[in-house]
Amino acid sequence: MRLSGKVAVITGAASGMGKAIAELYAAEGAKVVVSDLRVDTAQTVVDGIGEKGGTAVAVAANVAKEEDVQQLIDTAVEKFGTVDILVNNAGIMDNFVPAADLTDELWERIFAINTTGPMRTIRKVLPLFLEKKAGVIVNIASAGGLFGSRAGAAYTASKHAVVGLTKNVGFQYATQGIRCNAIAPGGVNTNIGTSINAPSPFGMERAMVGIQVNPRAGEPEEIAKVALFLASDDSSFVNGTVVTADAGWTAY
């Protein structure tokens, strides 16, 4: 029970990696706020956690909206008294659109969810963390945040920004008992592909050049185990960094 007594907020937790993280955190003793746009699906996750003896609550939230982020964290505090762990998992793909074809609308939508959302949730929880001189943030970045062409221009830039945000927050608040790390997954079997609609042929062709060297796709539960490590005291000396979990794909 490595997270016994902790309260964790997880965005995009109705499916995929977020769901796996929520379930594992609950199994390790955390009280979990399962946040997602799809509150009905989030409630299904909560029901499953409850059936296994865990404690969780579902909260509808669009991380691209400031008022939703405020309500999300306020609800966590109202239900469970505080927040100890924040996992920024919500994210979408960008249809592999290359820079020449980017629209302002697509760029702003990708950044609103993938980058501005995490900034807002971090901004909201930091006063809680600073008051008690303790707190952990886990951002889900991507191999696309470390390398140049695992997706389109907007997604790639947004995840690079998440990596920079992670390092900045991790260092600046390190003396306040707060840690901030990120996970950079490679290909993982989730439903994030449903956010891809009519991908750019050119952009997808360029992004897929290196896919043949990918040893395998991961499972959400494998990423959840990394997220558990980063949220627990097992990683007390790990801060401001990115853990790559990709079966060795980016080591080539």
Grade residue 221 by pLDDT with cuts at 50, 70 and 90. very high
Please give the Cα distance from 49 to 47 (Å, whole number). Answer: 5
| Average confidence (pLDDT) over 22-30 | 98
Q: What domain range includes position 45?
A: 7-251
* Residue-level pLDDT at 223: 98
Could you give the residue numbers annotated as active site?
155
Rg of the chain taking only CA atoms, in angstroms: 17
pLDDT digits (tens, 9 = 90+) for 4-15: 999 999 999 999
The answer to whether residue 133 sits within a structural domain is yes
Give the chain's domain count. Answer: 1
* Residue-level pLDDT at 196: 81
Q: What is the CATH number of the domain that holds 23?
A: 3.40.50.720
The answer to whether residue 1 sits within a structural domain is no
Angle formed at CA 21 by CA 48 and CA 96, multiple of 5 degrees: 115
The answer to whether residue 2 sits within a structural domain is no
Buried b (16+ CB within 10 A) or exposed e, 28-49: bebbbbbbbbebebbbbbbebb
The answer to whether residue 13 sits within a structural domain is yes
When the pLDDT of each residue in the chain is averaged and rounded to a whole number, the result is 97
Q: Both ends of the chain: CA-CA distance in Å?
A: 36
Grade residue 237 by pLDDT with cuts at 50, 70 and 90. very high
The whole model's pTM is what? 0.96
Please give the Cα distance from 30 to 183 (Å, whole number). Answer: 20
pLDDT digits (tens, 9 = 90+) for 50-91: 999 999 999 999 999 999 999 999 999 999 999 999 999 999
pLDDT digits (tens, 9 = 90+) for 83-130: 999 999 999 999 999 999 999 999 999 999 999 999 999 999 999 999
